[in-house]
Structure 1
Amino acid sequence: MKLSAATTLFSLALATVPPPGPDGKYTLTAPGITAKFIPYAACITNLLVPDKNGTLRDIILGYDNASFYPVDPNHSDYGAVPGRYANRIKDHTYVLNGTRYFTEANDGNGTLHSGTNGWSHRVWNVSAVSNTSITFSITDVGNSSLGMPGTVMGSVTHSVSNSSWHTTIAAHAVDHVTPLMLTTHPYWNLDAFANPDTDLILNHTLSLPFGKRMIGIDENTESTGELPTVPKGDINDFWSAPKMIGASMGDARWVGNCGTAGGCAGYNNQWLVDRGSGEEEMPIATLSSGWSGIKWDLYSDQPGIVVYSCHWMGGGNQLKAAQGGKASNGFVRKDGCVAVEPQDWIDGINHPEWNRTQYQINGPGMPPFSSFIQYKFSTV
């Protein structure tokens, strides 16, 4: 029997893979980096790199107990691969080929990460694993997430090399057109909460060199269809020069900048990655901490990047044993972390005028979705 291109692409050999370690996690190591992963949400749970003094710091938020992720009452998509359609769908509805679909309203009146049975709530298969790489795969049948038709087959490969974490994501809708947009969802604190003066990330420095435009949002943080420019010196200006995440706290727009309905303060916004010719190989974001000296440069082929400065963290997420210091109470506080997510334009399926639907709709006969995300670590 001749296999279809989709089956050939995503049918990974049913070879025996080794079990996880005693902590329930798969550990990958390379010079300058150690990372751990679990099948739940295909997520990263630990990432250790040396700080400027050579001390190893676990700079990813997560839990020591691998079995806690599926039952976490504060489910924060820690380190996950959300899908099949990442981020928000306004008013939990969209139209595809003349048919209106309704998705789960799990974020006010909108849908976030495809609802409460999205890919970040699933246990993936472990298809291959080595000392430096692990591949997870998923078969997502139609309407297992409300309003998402057709079967999608996906795979995610995480790998580590010299001070680098690289992720490749691939997926294909095999029998019906459907929305498809994927990313990774790590939360960062480059000080591992050990800075004796603060356990927050407001003193982390961020650069978004191509972020001169944004997705406009309404009071509920849902897309308006506008694509506002970011003036130099604006609260959302990270393009003209790197600046600390908390540098604009005194701005009148700080409270409500990421949604006025709930008083969201800081950032939960998407910047567009408007690269020019010859700029494709440059990092789309850089994050660093002066205290730890840890820095990463983010590379991706995605045309947008979401930054969320953890306003909604309510102090219920416990730190790992290796994290924390004098300024920490052992839990993640508001502004205690930052998520940085390369992805396509939020809610593009509801804005055909953006011409993003060709990248956000997939189906039989169409090229598979594919993307890469890479963090390169160094010290400053």
Structure 2
Amino acid sequence: MKSLAFIGTLAFSWLALVQGKVPPPDSDGKYTIQAPGIKASFIPYSAAVTNLFVPDRNGTQRDIVLGYDTAVEYAEDKIHPNYGAIPGRYANRIANATYELDGVRYYTERNNQPNSTMHSGTNGWSYRVWNVTNVCHDSITFSLRDEPFSSKGMPGLVLGRVTYTLKPNTWIISIEGEAKTHRTPLMLTNHAYWQLDAFANPFNDTVLNHTFSMPFSKRQLAYDSVAEVNGTILEIPKYGINDFWSSPKQVGANASAAGWIGNCGPGFGGYDCAVTIDHDHLDPKKPQVYSEPVASLRSEWSGIQWDMYSNQAGFAFTSCGFFPKDVLPIKKTQGGPDSANDGFVPTYGCLAVEPQDWTSGIDHPQWGRLPYQIYGPGDGVYRNEIVYKFSAS
């Protein structure tokens, strides 16, 4: 029934679009925009990026984000990994599925084991069909009206908007949220999963051979035994497992280390961490982004690299160690069943990087992050500005 409702919503949207607002999507339900050196496709469901093509060092076009072949598959996906989505209205975790705001205790959906909320629950923004409000050759805008308590425990009306813009070799993401009637948690991000070899590398179909760096992230948020942020902020030691600040290194460089399993939470290996971005003159309430990249990812095999710029004070990142084997199919644009592996995304097959304010900040007011995570009428518009610049050598 869920997929039928989704198809019906799309059909209604298509009719409205054909009547003169914006052009309709293609037969797969996708809108495609492009600029020199880059092409990308998007869908209304979760306002997600579904495909992103850039040339590798030999000029071969590679689709370097994970996703599905058609829009309908996103709504039918029972695992719901938030492929390319805009999670909200409060991204990532809320510990114990509860928080306090202005003296009132709110309870959110327990959709993350063992007892927390992830991405605002199963009716969060990544489960919604957004409206397409504008499309041109190099830009698309989606909007969403989020009614009070449409996600459990989230008061007040919020209007959301995301604009994706392509410039030469560049992807610009502008995410906005405006609380209209009540103070409410508000923290948004883009949840793209990256695979810079597009599963074409015959020697390694994971991201463990990708090189990652985060030069301004020398601190991380500590986790407790059930993978909840516990309020402690730790210095990342030089040469430690989580040290990507002193110099770039491969994602799997420490895969044989004793602390690899359970590094950022129990039950799996690798990374599912949240870090701060420690950089002078940062104000997340202003749309300006850092003048230097706050993270970089590179594949030596394809030669593709992105440099990420952001106006946020931190980000979460995961190396997909929790991905189940032989469950999530690889897109046809990445080889599908004929890809370098068995046609399914492997464990450690991707890297997600989510620029945002400090994860679980509403659980830890002692951090002083509430002015950047709680918005109400008169507080202005929440803005998350992200820029990816691509190159290949």
Post-superposition Cα deviations, 1:65-122, rounded to whole Å, max 9, x if no partner, equal 1111111112110000000000000000000001100000000100000000000000
Question: Amino acid of the residue matched to residue 303 of structure 2?
Answer: G
Contact persistence 2:66–2:84 (CA under 8 A):
yes
Q: Which residue does 1:267 correspond to in 2?
A: 271
Of 295, 319, 325, the match for 1:309: 319
TM-score between both structures, scaled by the size of structure 2? 0.91
1:51 to 2:56 alignment:
yes
* Gap change, CA 1:177 and 1:322, over 3 Å in 2: same
User: Which structure 2 residue ranges, 5 or more long, are not aligned?
Assistant: 1-18, 283-288
Aligned residues: 365
Is the contact between residue 84 and residue 179 of structure 1 (CA under 8 Å) also seen in structure 2?
yes
Name the counterpart of 2:187. 181
Structure 2 residue aligned with 1:91, among 53, 78, 96?
96
Match of 1:106 in 2: 111
Show structure 1 runs of 4+ deviating over 6 A.
Answer: none
Read off the aligned partner of 1:113 and give its amino acid letter.
H
Q: Secondary structure at the match of 1:209?
A: coil
Partner residue in 2 for 1:4: none
* Paired AA for residue 316 in structure 1: V
Structure 1 gaps of 5+ residues are 1-13
- How far residue 15 of structure 1 moved from its aligned partner, in angstroms, is 6.6
Residues 195 and 157 of structure 1, relative CA distance in 2, 3 Å threshold: same
211-220 vs 111-120, greater mean Cα deviation: 211-220
SS in 2 for 1:319: coil
**Equivalence for 2:296:** 286
Q: Distance in 1 between matches of 2:315 and 2:226?
A: 19
Q: Does 1:37 align with 2:42?
A: yes
Offset of residue 306 of structure 1? 1.1
Which structure's residues are more often helix, by fraction?
A: 2
Query: Aligned-pair distance for 1:277?
Result: 5.1
Aligned 1:8-157 pairs, distance under 5 A: 16-108=21-113, 109-157=115-163
Residue 251 of structure 1: aligned partner: 257
Identity of aligned residues (%): 53
Tell me how far 1:264 sits from its aligned partner.
Answer: 2.0
Under a length normalisation based on structure 1, what TM-score does the superposition of the two structures give?
Answer: 0.94
Which residue of 329, 349, 364 maps to 1:318? 329
Q: What are the Cα deviations for residues 140-162 of structure 1, in whole angstroms up to 9, with x where unaligned?
A: 00111000011100100001010
What is the one-letter code of the residue matched to 1:254?
W
Which amino acid is 2:315 matched to? Answer: I
Q: Secondary structure at the match of 1:322?
A: helix
Cα separation, partners in 2 of 1:330 and 1:296, compared to 1, 3 Å: same
Q: Measure the CA separation in 2 of the matches of 1:138 and 1:154.
A: 5
Give the Å deviation of 1:280: 3.1
Task: Tell me the CA shift for residue 327 of structure 1.
Answer: 3.5
Give the 3-state SS of the residue equivalent to 1:172 in structure 2. Answer: strand
1:207 Cα offset (Å): 0.3
Question: What's the CA shift for 1:25?
Answer: 0.5
Aligned residue in 1 for 2:385 = 372
Alignment match, 2:15: none
Deviations 1:144-192 (A, max 9, x none): 1000011100100001010111010111110011000000000010000
| Letter matched to residue 340 of structure 1 | V
